[in-house]
Amino acid sequence: MAKLYFYYSSMNAGKSSSLLQADFNYRERGMATMLWTAALDTRSDGLVRSRIGLEAEAHRFRPDTDLRAAITAAHRESALDCVLLDEAQFLSETQVWQLAGVADELGIPVLCYGLRTDFQGALFPGSAVLLGIADALVELKAVCHCGRKATMNLRVSEDGSAVKQGAQTEIGGNDRYVALCRKHFSAALKG
């Protein structure tokens, strides 16, 4: 029975690297995969790209992309063994349910990788639904500067100070976000 998986973490835990490793493992065994990433992340240019230099071409999803229809069409052309999706926090509730249908009705495992929470500690919509309905939840670990597990994403300004307000989504990497444990996240917001 195929499952819907959600691999989640804070920034800098290796989500994209893990996705690319899983993709490699399937392909190495002669299996067909389909990769997806968020069109919203314009830095990726249609690639799943890790900080350690690995990358692979991917389809890009937008808020209005019917993932189930796109995956079904590709599966009819050439049987898929796995679907891997990066930046899963940007999925809509409808899209998460579409992916659940891919696993349940098409029998294709779906591996989603994304952030659990935003820079204010709130769940992203896609992550909230995945946490609620995924068959398997896997937390990937990042490390705070103190050595504890980093679970939070602190947004920082150009001068390095904590950003407390703003849009939920602002694309950026290490220049805009710092992975912290809850203690240091809270302290940074109070400071």
Active site positions, annotated:
87
Tell me the C-alpha distance between 189 and 163, whole Å.
8
Strand partners, 150: 142
Beta strand extents in 4-92 (DSSP E only): 4-9, 33-38, 47-49, 55-57, 59-61, 82-85
- Which value, to the nearest 10 degrees, does the dihedral of the CA atoms of residues 55, 56, 62, 65 take? -160
Q: Count of CB atoms within 10 A of residue 189's CB?
A: 16
Quote the tokens at residue 170.
Answer: 């602002």
Collect all residues with Cβ–Cβ distance below 8 Å to 88 and sequence separation of at least 6.
Answer: 6, 8, 112, 113, 114, 126, 127, 130
Q: Are strands 33-38 and 59-61 parallel, antiparallel or unpaired?
A: parallel
**Residue 173 carries which DSSP code?**
S
